[in-house]
Chains A and B, each alone.
Chain A
Amino acid sequence: MRAWTLLCGLALGMGCGGPELTVELERDPGVQERIVWFRVFVREFTSETPVVYPAQRVGDGPIRIPFPEAGRAFTLRIDGCIEGDGCDVSRRVAVACSRTLVVEEGEAQTPIRLTLLPVPSPDPGGCP
């Protein structure tokens, strides 16, 4: 972080720092399976095509994804998957969806908590 701050200074402070939103994931007691993978989808309004991020193992800790454009509304969807090769639709057992979020430049963000809810079977897809 120190080295980065230094480099940022060299780079005239551009492209560094800025707003940060922390999302804490928790599991609903109704989710029986052990969640090993999670996968993040960001849907910007008014696009219908979400940005799909690579699946990440829960054990690997927090991940950071870039904000959509400042001031542009978006929603987060996080799929939770059981053990296997990645987190595709066939292994999805839980899902958490955010309300609509908008992040303005330089605005302090309060952390939000999202709960992974069990996915009914058969999986209807998307958010509950």
Chain B
Amino acid sequence: MQAVTLMVVMASGPVWVGVDALESEVPPALVERLQLKSAEFLGLRQAQAAQIESWKQRLAAINTTFRRGNLEASRGAVERLIGAMSANTHPWLDSVELLAESLLMLGQIQLLLDDELGAASAFQQHHALLPDAFLDPSLYRPEVLSAYERLAVTTLAGARRSLTVEVRPAGATIWLDGKPKGQAPMTISNLVPGRHYLRVVAGARSVQQVVDLGREGRVVRADLGADAQTAGAFFSVWRERLGAERLTRAAATTGQGRVRFAVGVVRADQGFDLFGLRLSEAGVIEGLAVANLTAQDAPLKPLGDLLRSLRDASAPPPSEQLLERAMGRAPNQLRPVVIGAVASGVVVAVLSGVGLALWLEDGSGVVIDPGGLR
């Protein structure tokens, strides 16, 4: 088994949006759904769709060149198109089927150019991506169909590989060849040998890599644990009051200078509360909005309204009350001091000054001793 460590690749696009659970009570599947919808609401998916549309047009033009008999030109053009679609700069989701279609065209061209080895390579890559594909006899000539059967299906019959994906954090979603496979860690078996397009997504972070399953299975390890690249990082830095410097650092390493939206999800009395932030590059909260999501909100309309208000800067600057809601009910460690001071009517200043530190050493409450963990 070979092991590979993936590099982190930031999703392309003018906007960065991250959704994270702020509590363990929030189901990972909901976060995943909100993340996808957020990208849709902010137009990121539209940008991807536009890219795929332009590739489709390129493939149609190559097809025209091919049918006119210009084989060398069409081979060069389809190879360049396959290179563009295999590049790491585009998420391998909806484009994978188009990639398979392009490989099929390349195989046909190679056959006509008497390059059987090249045709075998293209057909086998297609078969690895779409093992159950049915080639419509009304669309392909009989010699193409028989060559595909002989060079790809028969050659690779019975050869199956497995791919094990280990990811930190556990629970990241694994996409293989444009299809969701489940949550990491997992082993995907019964794969046709060849090139496979692996994408691992956790919140706003993703890594992707072409995995070549040759003679044996593979183990791929990915670490998406760089906390500064998650929406949750903003909230944890913020909620835990770790200071402006940490918040700035989290912002600076997230989104590569793009406009940033971070959405934190917590369970509420009714459904879930969504806290949306718009952050400047310096980590300053420029806008904050809150929405409640219930089971009845199937199209996730509150999420769309929340993101639109942040994007259009119609969300007001955060009020103290709103900030406190988003931060959760922080432990009110000053309360005993204040009560004591007011009741006695004396030494208010002294109590306020030293009370907080001393309260931690004495008084009522739950003492949690982690000594047994060391």
Contact = CB atoms under 8 A, between A and B. Distances in A.
Interface of A: 1, 3-5, 7-8, 10-12, 14-27, 35, 38, 40-42, 47-56, 58-59, 61-67, 76, 78-80, 84-86, 88-92, 95, 113, 116, 121-126
Interface in B337-353: 337-341, 343-344, 346-347, 350-351
Interface of B: 20-28, 168-171, 183-185, 202, 225, 227-228, 230, 232-233, 236-237, 239-241, 266-269, 328-329, 331-333, 335-341, 343-344, 346-347, 350-351, 354-355, 358-374
B27 A125 contact: yes
Contact of B373 (A14, A21, A80): A80
Given A63-B367, A86-B236, 9 more contacts: A20-B364, A23-B368, A52-B22, A66-B331, A85-B227, A89-B169, A90-B168, A90-B169, A123-B170
A76 B267 CA distance: 17
Contact of B335 (A18, A42, A61, A66): A66
B171 A122 contact: yes
A25 B347 contact: no
Given A38-B373, A66-B365, A125 B26 contact: yes
Per DSSP, are chain A's interface residues mostly helix, strand or loop, or mixed? mixed
Contacts of B25: 50, 125-126
B361 A1 contact: yes
Closest CB pairs A-B (n = 7): A18-B364, A90-B169, A11-B340, A26-B372, A15-B336, A122-B171, A15-B340
13 contacts: A14-B339, A15-B337, A20-B366, A21-B365, A21-B366, A42-B366, A48-B267, A53-B331, A84-B225, A88-B227, A113-B372, A122-B171, A126-B24
Contacts of A4: 358-359, 361-363
A67 B367 CA distance: 10
B227 to A, nearest CB: 4
B346 A90 contact: no
A59 B225 CA distance: 22
Which of A16, A26, A84: most chain B CB closer than 10 A? Answer: A16
